[in-house]
Amino acid sequence: MNKHPFDQALRLEAAGSDRPDTWLGASSPAYWNMVGPFGGTTAATALQAILLHPSLLGEPIALTVNYASALAEGPFSITATPVRTNRSTQHWTVELLQADASGAEGVVMTATAVTAARRETWSANDTPMPAVGFSDALPRLRFGTVEWTNRYDMRPVRGMIPQVWDGAGQGGEEGSLTQLWVRDEPPRPLDFPALTAMADAFHPRVWLRRATRVPAGTVSITVYFHADSRQLAQGGGGHLLGQARGQHFRNGFFDQVVQVWNQAGALLATSSQMVYYKE
């Protein structure tokens, strides 16, 4: 049976007994973006290295990924190190290295993460899902320019890429708000790496805000996980509702915040990221 393209993209092999924290992988053309792989899969690879580690405690609650440079086509090594383990939390550092044309290895991505053994306690949700119902009649968003978008079934609700790049932008109450339904294509059972990638499945907020297609790329992204693996599994491979909004645009950088719910209305993850843009 063929593996899902996402699982192929995240395939890692142990580097050897002399490097117990290190795995070897390769960038995937199936998730290629404009100048490298889709950043969501790079973040998911960082998490995958942690989840494969034999010393793992619990499940992910937070992941921060910093993109030092674009990941190139070809092999890489990734090291995930548990730097401190407490009774219920575990703290990680991650580093992804790749050789350049001269053969010299350089840092492409760094990350930190926290995993934890969750316990049943009082819980509440102060961020309810918007009243946005899913329907198969919603048109699927399709791009012809970047390969990674073909790996997702995205059904926009509001705030998608402008049809006319006229510099007018979107203001008023809508601002830089986007809402869309998204799932892996073909469908795949939801897990933490897939949720990580889908938290990044939004076009740059500056494109929507300005209706000007300027170069832009994520510098740093943090994903907070509010669900455990059992709750993720309950949704199967169905669509999730993602919502993204920019908060401030200034001097070449903007941030955006994201929420992701399942169709039952459970908030699965939130994220924030800082994005670089050019005039």
pTM for the predicted model, two decimal places: 0.95
- Say how far apart CA 102 and CA 186 lie, in whole Å: 38
Please check whether residues 159 and 71 belong to one and the same domain: no
Please check whether residues 187 and 254 belong to one and the same domain: yes
Whether the predicted pLDDT of 166 surpasses 90:
no
Among 91-100, 166-175, 188-197, the minimum mean pLDDT is found in: 166-175
pLDDT at 172: 61
Domain boundary among 65, 93, 116: 116
Name which residue leads in pLDDT, 144 or 60. Answer: 60
Q: Which band of pLDDT confidence, cut at 50, 70 and 90, is reported for residue 168?
A: confident
Please check whether residues 219 and 266 belong to one and the same domain: yes
The answer to whether position 142 is within a domain reads: no
The answer to whether position 10 is within a domain reads: yes
Amino acid at 105: E
The residues near 200 (Cβ < 8 Å, ≥ 6 apart) are: 38, 39, 40, 43, 218, 221, 258, 271, 273
Q: Which band of pLDDT confidence, cut at 50, 70 and 90, is reported for residue 269?
A: very high
The answer to whether position 125 is within a domain reads: no
- Say how far apart CA 191 and CA 205 lie, in whole Å: 26
pLDDT at 136: 87
The answer to whether position 102 is within a domain reads: yes
Please check whether residues 105 and 213 belong to one and the same domain: no
The answer to whether position 130 is within a domain reads: no
Q: Which band of pLDDT confidence, cut at 50, 70 and 90, is reported for residue 235?
A: confident
The residues near 263 (Cβ < 8 Å, ≥ 6 apart) are: 134, 235, 238, 239, 240, 241
Mean pLDDT taken over the chain: 94
Domain boundary among 116, 139, 168: 116
Q: Which band of pLDDT confidence, cut at 50, 70 and 90, is reported for residue 164?
A: confident
The answer to whether position 84 is within a domain reads: yes
- Say how far apart CA 239 and CA 243 lie, in whole Å: 13
Please check whether residues 76 and 179 belong to one and the same domain: no
Please check whether residues 112 and 33 belong to one and the same domain: yes
| Contact between 248 and 207 (Cβ < 8 Å) | no
pLDDT tens-digit map of 58-92:
999 999 999 999 899 999 999 999 999 999 999 99
pLDDT at 38: 96
The answer to whether position 45 is within a domain reads: yes
Domain that residue 255 falls in: 147-277
pLDDT at 175: 85
Domain count, the chain: 2
Please check whether residues 74 and 158 belong to one and the same domain: no
pLDDT at 63: 98
Please check whether residues 222 and 177 belong to one and the same domain: yes
Please check whether residues 51 and 154 belong to one and the same domain: no
The answer to whether position 200 is within a domain reads: yes
The residues near 104 (Cβ < 8 Å, ≥ 6 apart) are: none
Among 21-25, 167-171, 196-200, the minimum mean pLDDT is found in: 167-171
Domain boundary among 73, 101, 116: 116
The CATH number assigned to the domain holding 196 equals: 2.40.160.210
For the record, the structure tokens of 85 come out as: 């383990």
Max alpha carbon distance in the chain (Å)?
58
Give all strands of the β-sheet with 178-184 in edge-to-edge order: 13-14, 22-26, 75-85, 89-99, 105-116, 59-67, 216-225, 267-277, 253-261, 240-250, 178-184, 152-158
Q: What's the average model confidence in pLDDT over 139-156?
A: 90
